[in-house]
Structure 1
Amino acid sequence: MSRVNWRRYKPLGRPTAVVAYRGWGDAGEASSRAVDHVLSIHPSVLLEEIDAEEYFDFQVLRPEIRFAQGGSVSLTWPSTKIYLTTPPGESPLLVITGDEPHARWKTYVRQIMDLCRAAGVEKVLTMGAFMGQVAHTLPVPMVGRATHPDQLHRHGLFGSNYQGPTGIVGVLHQAFTQEGWNALTLWAAVPHYLSTQEYPPASLALVEKASQILGIDLQPSPLEMEVSEFRDKLEAVIAESEDLAGYIKHLEEELSQGDDLQPEDLEDARDQMISEIEEFLRRPEN
């Protein structure tokens, strides 16, 4: 495991860590794109890139070839990157993001914890997104998990009672909690029929809630514009198909009654909807 450069992190002034990963637990790329937005709106400096060799299977997640200006070729490897971003007049944020590792999670978590300790982190916000039986026409449902459960009520969040397999976000949240830090994890629900592509409404919901929790203006306007364009395209798909419109209406009715939907109840319609939406959004004009 690579050593932490303590001198690099010591002067950071107790930043709040903001954490999200691509991969499992990032339905619709909602949480990873939310963090990308945070990095894009304020000056950000790359502090560290964790060596991918120790944690990734490159036959599962392969490096990508990129062409640069002038025709030169570069490789982009799976990685975890640690950034410092400083909103004007606010405390700094230590942003940890990248691809979910494949192996040696316990060692990986210890390394992330060491980095956070070196920076003086005492407060952490982690984010994820899951595929749910929800409708795109309704507000994005959100749940949370917190070191101090009263935080959930304060921020208008329901607690999560999920039990089962977890991703690196869940493992890190547990480690942060055991360290005694003030840790809160946000989870946004993405409609199951839209989870195979980017889902901007969930990214926007995460950014808005993160802004409230952190007390920092995270400038959601660019995402709001993206959501508006996304909804226009999606409504065009639904307008072309009575079956899709009927599926959405049925889903809304079931959700309004508080019934638990089982995926197999509408499996054929769901699969058709996914196929038609993906085909529409791949058209050159979209």
Structure 2
Amino acid sequence: MFDPTDLYELAADLPELTDPVLLYHFDGFVDAGNAGRLALGHLLAGSEHRVVATFDVDRLLDYRSRRPTMVFDTDRWVGYESPELALYSATDAAGTPYLVLNGPEPDREWELFVKAVTTLTERFEVSRLATLHGIPMGVPHTRPLGITMHASKPELVEEQTSSFGRVHVPGSAAALLELRLGARGHDVVGYAVHVPHYLSQAEYPHAAVTGLEAVSRGTGLVFPLDELRTAAERTTADIEEQIRASTELSTAIAGMEQQYDAFAAGSDRESLLAEPSSMPTGEELAAQFERFLAERDDEV
């Protein structure tokens, strides 16, 4: 049997931690608006952090499905962006240490990877694990973003009305981690931020802010969000500019607002997941935004 600790290498100087929270997100699965990637990237970029453990990406990744970037200069190769999947220690705005597990989603050896994370979770006596990502929903950006919570224990989920019943979906390493750790009695919570489907392929900082605010409420960690909020405001201003310049977009968003308001009032409980024939699909709306941007580029 393979030893899961062979999948990672611990740093020489390990931090002193007391029941830390562990936040995790893996790039490569569904993450509408890049909510999870922006959120954890913001936390690591905005605070001092250090590597606690590095995973063996040569064993976990399929380079041919996600080829790393290399740099060619004139007549030779001069750089290689090596993918990194690592566990970091960081400190929140109140001085509380926590852990961040971040990097590309493993392509292989999921079960062994989960066992490896489990050994780290138990080694550092992690009190709770939390993950966040974005999911595309039929909601307008002009209304508050919703969140669907899921957790390893029912009591960890805040009171909510879920739009989902029992469904079969493609698996992910993050979901398997929650399932397996939950079976061992660990507290794991996930936050799926509802991102407007016409913005799901873009970077939408507002989704990252909403997700981190939810994580903060659930874990007690305090995150500096001013820079991320400023980015969200700029993005919203750009979106509004596009909408004002297009009657087609304005009409579509107005229709989505009516649909959302009916859902919020309880008169249409299926509307956020449905794609009524009178409404454009997320792909159609996204295409309209792309056409608008292309026209603006041509005019410059």
Unaligned 5+ segments in structure 1 are: none
* CA–CA separation in structure 2 for the residues paired with 1:3 and 1:42: 24
Cα offset, 1:229, TM superposition: 0.4
CA drift of 1:74 comes to 2.3
Q: CA deviation at 1:275?
A: 2.1
Question: Is the Cα–Cα contact under 8 Å of residues 93 and 223 in structure 2 kept in the other structure?
Answer: no
Q: Is the 8 A contact 1:62 1:78 kept in 2?
A: no
Counterpart in 1 of 2:3?
none
Residue of structure 1 in register with 2:42 after alignment: 37
Higher helix share: 1
Alignment size in residue pairs: 282
**What is the CA-CA distance between 1:119 and the residue it aligns to?**
1.7
**Pairs within 5 Å for 1:106-125:** 106-125=111-130
Amino acid at match of 1:275: A
Q: Which moved more, 1:115-124 or 1:1-10?
A: 1-10
Question: Could you give the per-residue CA deviations for residues 163-200 of structure 1, whole angstroms, max 9, x where no partner exists?
Answer: 22232221111122112112211110111111111111
Measured on the aligned residues, the alpha-carbon RMSD in Å equals: 2.7
Q: Secondary structure at the match of 2:287?
A: helix
Partner of 2:287: 275
Q: CA deviation at 1:235?
A: 0.6
> How do 1:121-200 residues align onto structure 2 when only pairs under 5 Å count?
121-153=126-158, 157-158=160-161, 161=165, 163-165=167-169, 166-200=171-205
Letter in 1 for 2:144: P
Give secondary structure in 2 for the equivalent of 1:198: coil
Q: CA deviation at 1:117?
A: 1.8
- Residues of 1 paired with 2:278 and 2:71: CA distance? 41
The percentage of aligned residue pairs carrying the same residue is: 23
Q: CA 1:201–1:81 in structure 2 vs 1: closer, same or farther (change >3 Å)?
A: same
The superposition leaves residues 125-163 of structure 1 with CA deviations (integer Å, 9 ceiling, x where unpaired) of 11122111111111111011123323323xx55556452
Determine if contact 1:31/1:128 at 8 Å carries over to the other structure.
Answer: yes
Q: Which has the larger radius of gyration?
A: 2
1:263 to 268, 271, 275: 275
Say if 2:138 and 2:282, in contact at 8 Å, map to a contact too: no
Q: Deviations over 1:246-274 (max 9, x none)?
A: 11111111122223343362575644431
46-55 vs 242-251, greater mean Cα deviation: 46-55
Q: Which runs of no fewer than 5 residues in structure 2 stay unpaired? A: 1-5
Question: What is the TM-score with the length of structure 1 in the denominator?
Answer: 0.87
Moved more, 252-261 or 271-280: 271-280
Deviation at 1:237, TM superposition (A): 0.7
Contact 1:141 1:189 in 2 (8 A): yes
Give deviations 1:213-267, integer Å, cap 9, x for gaps. 2212201111111111001100111111111111111111112222334336257
Equivalence map 1:25-64=2 (5 Å): 25-64=30-69
Q: Structure 1 residue 3: deviation in Å?
A: 5.2
Name the amino acid aligned to 1:277: F
Q: How does the TM-score come out when normalised to structure 2? A: 0.83
- Cα 1:39–1:253 change in 2 (3 A) is same
- CA distance in structure 1 between the partners assigned to 2:167 and 2:46 by the alignment: 35
Report the residue type matching 1:170 in the other structure: A
What one-letter code is carried by the residue in structure 2 that aligns with 1:164? H
